[in-house]
């Protein structure tokens, strides 16, 4: 089974009504962050199943899928990359990591980032130099900035918080709502592991944070504590 069969299977799962809903949900209108993206309207579990069935396709086929104008084809390519990275040897992991960072221009919506960056970039850099994340955090490309902060989910799960905090400081004044949400989400994840560490950071920066970032970061706090942050009374 190859690329032609994979694409044929995906096309058979297309749902036009769902595609219209997804194009609205992922902001594909003119001037929006997903402008021009095209959807088949396929549910994520179906895409995961398809990726698993074609997990052994070549990196060249993955590259062709990732260059597709069809959102689901790009997501399936990333699911395949995650699977190949997770099961691969060290040489394979390095090759996939390098491929990923060279193709960030095609990883161009928040779901594509969120479902792949932690498991490839985060996993690869956990015990390595993390400078590429700071380069991405300073990028003019929205999705590279989101890759930077979302990759740290892997670090957080392994109780390493420093990189997330450093990136959060860099992204504190970012103008885009999707970065506010991403940073706030990662801070909340830190709080799920160690609320004291999260609050040390919040007490220093919460008055400077965009409101959305703060709301995401304190979403799981007790109601009174959450109100205190929102009212600036910490």
Enter the pTM of the model: 0.96
**For 180-200, what is each residue's pLDDT tens digit?**
999 999 999 999 999 999 999
Q: Which two tokens stand for residue 222?
A: 């007790």
Q: Which residues contact 147 (CB under 8 A, 6 or more apart)?
A: 104, 107, 113, 117, 121, 136
Phi, psi of 115 (to 5 degrees): -90, 0
Please tell me the distance from the alpha carbon of residue 23 to that of residue 26, in angstroms, as a whole number.
5
Please tell me the distance from the alpha carbon of residue 52 to that of residue 65, in angstroms, as a whole number.
15
- Are 122 and 153 within 8 A, CB to CB? yes
Task: Flag whether pLDDT at 1 surpasses 80.
Answer: no
**For 5-35, what is each residue's pLDDT tens digit?**
999 999 999 999 999 999 999 999 999 999 9
Q: Which two tokens stand for residue 198?
A: 């999260």
- Are 20 and 14 within 8 A, CB to CB? no
- Are 172 and 207 within 8 A, CB to CB? no
Please tell me the distance from the alpha carbon of residue 138 to that of residue 82, in angstroms, as a whole number.
25
């Amino acid at each position: 089974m190859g690329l032609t069969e994979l694409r044929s299977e995906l096309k058979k799962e297309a749902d036009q009504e769902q595609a219209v809903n997804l194009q609205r949900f992922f902001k594909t209108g003119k001037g929006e962050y997903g402008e021009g993206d095209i959807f088949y309207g396929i549910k994520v579990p179906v895409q995961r199943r398809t990726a698993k069935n074609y997990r052994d396709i070549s990196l060249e086929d993955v590259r062709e899928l990732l260059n597709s104008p069809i959102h689901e084809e790009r997501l399936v390519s990333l699911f395949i990359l995650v699977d190949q990275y997770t099961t691969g040897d060290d040489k394979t992991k390095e090759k996939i990591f390098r491929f990923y960072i060279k193709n960030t221009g095609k990883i161009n919506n928040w779901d594509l980032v969120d479902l792949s960056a932690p498991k490839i970039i985060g996993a690869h850099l956990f015990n390595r130099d993390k400078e590429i994340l700071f380069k991405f955090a300073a990028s003019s490309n929205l999705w590279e900035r989101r890759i930077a902060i979302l990759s740290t989910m892997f670090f957080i799960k392994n109780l390493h918080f420093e990189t997330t905090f450093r990136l959060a400081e860099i992204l504190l004044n970012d103008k885009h709502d999707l970065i506010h949400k991403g940073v706030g989400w990662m801070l909340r994840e830190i709080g799920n592991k160690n609320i004291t560490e999260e609050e040390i950071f919040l007490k220093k920066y919460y008055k400077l944070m965009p409101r959305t970032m703060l709301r995401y970061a304190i979403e799981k706090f007790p109601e009174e504590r959450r109100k205190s942050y929102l009212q600036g009374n910490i």
